[in-house]
Amino acid sequence: MAGEEILIVDANERDREGLRRFFDERGYVCTAAQTGAEARDFVNQKFFPAALVDLDVDGQGGGLEVLRFIRDHSRQTGLVLLTSRRSFEGAIGALRLGVLDVIIKAPDQIETMRQAVELAVSKYKARDQSGDLYRELRGVLNDAFKVMLAMARRVYADLSMAAPPLRPNVMFVDGDGEFLNSLAPLVQPLGWQIAAEMTGGSALDHASRERVDILVARNELPDLRGSMVIKTIQADKGEVLGLLYTAPGPRGQIDRLERGQVEDTIRPFTRPEQLIDAIKKLSGELATKAQERRVIQAFRDEHTDFFRRYANAKKQIDALVDD
């Protein structure tokens, strides 16, 4: 276990330095703290596979608060409680916090301390190796799902032929009626469901009542910023795609927003046709997503048990990897 970092927390200088020397001589990299505040600072700065904490740091029984902080901020650290007295309450409290051992501070217990630290480090290494395995398993599960989905697309190819053309609900928000009028002849042949609002407030009201797939807003509105309108609606309805544009011109631009974040930018934005082309691109993506949903639903209907087992396994692996 040589080279592993451990944290020693003890208010008694003689005991603290004695433990440091003992574990230093056995190849561990020791960090020693006299107070709980120092220990918390060290835990915030780096990870320790093991921590030895005296029960009476920061006063009688204060070591339990240190243990609780380490548990909450560094779940993989193995905890060992040291006590100079036989405290039943302290031992019970420590065990509830998940310590690996409660050890009396006495010369004849130093070997027990070494074994406890070695056990903590071994457990961390085992978890770390397991984490690599779980991450690999998650990657394999994700790849397997993609392969099966690709196969399902071919099996259920007839679904795309039977599905009606997508007619997205597109809402334009612009206080410049003249600009909106310039867009009308460009969108009429496309078969989209169109709504137009002149202010951010009316756009928010509309989105609360009606379905919106693509929200297209000028950033300069009479009342609110277009960016605020898009982010507010996307915060409530994360599936809405957004386009935020400035006045057309040499410095004009179109930003694509997803879940309130700018994902792509088109510049310079000089012609209304560029905005329509950007909407067409989003409409194509929506059509693809709709097709994916139909394929997945058809696949799920025929393989219900597989999907249940896949979802359950992925949930458990995600929890192990992210723990």
Tens of pLDDT, residue by residue over 145-158, are 778 777 777 776 66
Tens of pLDDT, residue by residue over 18-42, are 999 999 999 999 999 999 999 999 9
Tens of pLDDT, residue by residue over 212-247, are 999 999 999 999 999 999 999 999 998 999 999 999
Q: How much of the chain exceeds pLDDT 90, in percent?
A: 46
- Two tokens, residue 206: 């509309």
pTM of the model: 0.50
Mean pLDDT, the chain, whole residue set: 85
Q: Do domains 5-129 and 169-299 have the same CATH topology?
A: yes
pLDDT band at 308 (very low <50, low <70, confident <90, very high): confident
The phi and psi torsions of 229 (rounded to 5 degrees) equal -60, -50
pLDDT at 94 over 70: no
The strand pairing partners of 195, in sequence order, are 171
* Arithmetic mean of pLDDT, 170-195: 93
Rounded distance between C-alpha atoms, residue 293 and residue 49, angstroms: 45
Q: Which fold has domain 5-129?
A: Rossmann fold (3.40.50)
pLDDT of residue 17: 93
More confident residue, 311 or 117: 117
What number of other Cβ atoms are within 10 A of residue 232's Cβ? 16
User: Where do the domains of the chain lie?
Assistant: 5-129, 169-299
Rounded distance between C-alpha atoms, residue 270 and residue 254, angstroms: 10
The phi and psi torsions of 170 (rounded to 5 degrees) equal -110, 125
- Two tokens, residue 5: 């970092």
CATH number of 169-299: 3.40.50.2300
**3-state SS track over the chain:** CCCCEEEEECCCHHHHHHHHHHHHCCCCEEEEECCHHHHHHHHHHCCCCEEEEECCCCCCCCHHHHHHHHHHHCCCCEEEEEECCCCHHHHHHHHHCCCCEEEECCHHHHHHHHHHHHHHHHHHHHHHHHHHHHHHHHHHHHHHHHHHHHHHHHHCCHHHHHCCCCCCEEEEECCCHHHHHHHHHHHHHHCCEEEEECCHHHHHHHHHHCCCCEEEEECECCCCEHHHHHHHHHHHCCCCEEEEECCCCCCCCEEEEECCEEEEEECCCCCHHHHHHHHHHHHHHHHHHHHHHHHHHHHHHHCHHHHHHHHHHHHHHHHHHHC
